[in-house]
Amino acid sequence: MSAPTIPETQKAIVFETCNGPLLYKDIAVPKPQANEILVNIKYSGVCHSDLHTWKNDWPAVPLKLPLVCGHEGAGVVAAVGANVSPDQWKVGDLAGIKLINKACLSCENCQQGEEPACGKLILSGFQTDGTFQQYGTVDAFQATKLPADIDLSSVGPILCAGITVYKGLKTSGAKPGQWVVISGAAGGLGSLAVQYARALGLRVIAIDGGDERGDFVKNLGAEEFIDFRKCQDIAKEIHRITDGGAHAALNVSTSEAAIQQSVDFVRNRGTVVLIGLPADSKVCLPILETVCRQISVKGSYVGNNWDTNEAIDFFARGLVKCPIKIVGLSELESVFKLMEEGKTIGRYVLDTSK
């Protein structure tokens, strides 16, 4: 294949300050460093983490400013750095850019394949420009191989939402036939969590708000739906359905109150997995009950390369589908507005050509 012409400039969404204007403008196409590849990003999912970042919900997280957000990019390799071997990446390969753009690969956690716990992570759309642009760079080791026949328009959400919930379900320790509650089930992460859980043989209780979301998650495979806007006592309802409480709870909502409730609806020896990251939030654990009921509470943060490959494989085999709506890159601001108002269902994906 002849090498594609790489333009000097490209379209991107850039903000100069948090909460500042989301500018749709021309910026320079970055050059890959020796260990990086340059990906011509065709589509990018919009994760709630992008909205949190723009709103400065996590002031402790350092940001590059001006910044291009986004970390669910799918595209085609346009150039490879000097140290990248052809066995690793070639121009024309399909590649994904996920949240972890670079890890140190030498610390204790990286050495054990636990890169999400590396203390020196460079995150796409945080400390380096992300995927709301037409061309982005990523460390060759952290770039994700995508099968040649994959649908680039719908695979993007796997690269954060999919990896995260797949890893989260593994972290829960729930076994086939056991009950898992997905709280925030109709969102970008939740809609994939329901499907991965089913594919892993788990029984799913989905929690979210409204009849439309109820129908949506049941179509994805949830056995039961609880409407948090209507149900008076969610813990009681879950104990009734499961005869003693869920084996695990996956918290993928952005509600602190919902996350707090999950401690009450797991059964003895159950596991609460924390994934959603509402601003300034805490979970309060009653010590006596947590000890005597032997409840585990675990944080789960994206996944490593192996989790990524497995999550992509489930998608490639058609076991999970990304429920998406595609809009142009220039429309990010309206997507953020809908997300902020709690009006999105599933995932929005940006087409970088528009």
Q: Which is nearer to ligand 8ID, 136 or 168 (CB)?
A: 168
Identified binder of ligand 8ID from the candidate list 39, 252, 295, 312, rule CB under 6 A = 252
The residue sitting closest to Zn ion, measured at its beta carbon, is 47
- Site stretch for ligand 8ID (CB under 6 A), options 81-89, 143-151, 195-203, 294-302: 294-302
Residues in the chain: 354
| Cα–Cα distance for residue pair 54/117, rounded to 1 Å | 23
Cα radius of gyration (the chain): 20
Q: At 222, list the tokens.
A: 């949830």
75 binds, among Zn ion, ligand 8ID, none (CB under 5 to 8 A by kind): none
Identified binder of ligand 8ID from the candidate list 124, 183, 304, 352, rule CB under 6 A = 183
Under the binding rule (CB under 5 A), the answer on residue 266 touching Zn ion is no
Whose structure tokens read 């129908």? 215
| Cα–Cα distance for residue pair 123/58, rounded to 1 Å | 14
Q: How many other C-beta atoms can be found within 10 angstroms of the C-beta atom of residue 159?
A: 29
Q: Which is nearer to ligand 8ID, 40 or 262 (CB)?
A: 262
Shortest CB 63 distance to ligand 8ID, Å = 14
308 binds, among ligand 8ID, Zn ion, none (CB under 5 to 8 A by kind): none
Identified binder of Zn ion from the candidate list 39, 41, 160, 204, rule CB under 5 A = 160
| Cα–Cα distance for residue pair 114/128, rounded to 1 Å | 21
Q: Which helix (H) or strand (E) holds 199?
A: helix 188-199
For ligand 8ID, the binding residues in 118-177 under the rule CB under 6 A are 160, 164
Q: Identify the CA nearest to 305 among candidates 167, 150, 188.
A: 167
The count of chain residues that interact with ligand 8ID, using the rule CB under 6 A, is 33
CA–CA distances in Å: residue 350 to residues 15, 57, 78, 291 = 17, 23, 19, 46
Q: Which is nearer to Zn ion, 156 or 214 (CB)?
A: 156
The SS3 call for residue 37 is: strand
Identified binder of ligand 8ID from the candidate list 162, 188, 245, 270, rule CB under 6 A = 188
Report whether the peptide linkage leading into residue 176 is cis, meaning its omega lies within 30 degrees of zero: no
The SS3 call for residue 88 is: coil
Q: Which helix (H) or strand (E) holds 24?
A: strand 23-28
**Are residues 200 and 168 in contact, defined by beta-carbon separation less than 8 angstroms?**
no
24 binds, among ligand 8ID, Zn ion, none (CB under 5 to 8 A by kind): none
Q: Identify the CA nearest to 265 among candidates 194, 156, 180.
A: 180
206 binds, among ligand 8ID, Zn ion, none (CB under 5 to 8 A by kind): none
Under the binding rule (CB under 6 A), the answer on residue 203 touching ligand 8ID is no
Identified binder of Zn ion from the candidate list 49, 134, 255, 271, rule CB under 5 A = 49
| Cα–Cα distance for residue pair 241/247, rounded to 1 Å | 12
Shortest CB 91 distance to ligand 8ID, Å = 30
Under the binding rule (CB under 6 A), the answer on residue 72 touching ligand 8ID is no
| Residue ranges binding Zn ion (CB under 5 A) | 47, 49, 160
| Residue ranges binding ligand 8ID (CB under 6 A) | 47-49, 52, 160, 164, 183-184, 186-190, 207-209, 228, 252-255, 257-258, 275-278, 300-302, 339, 342, 344
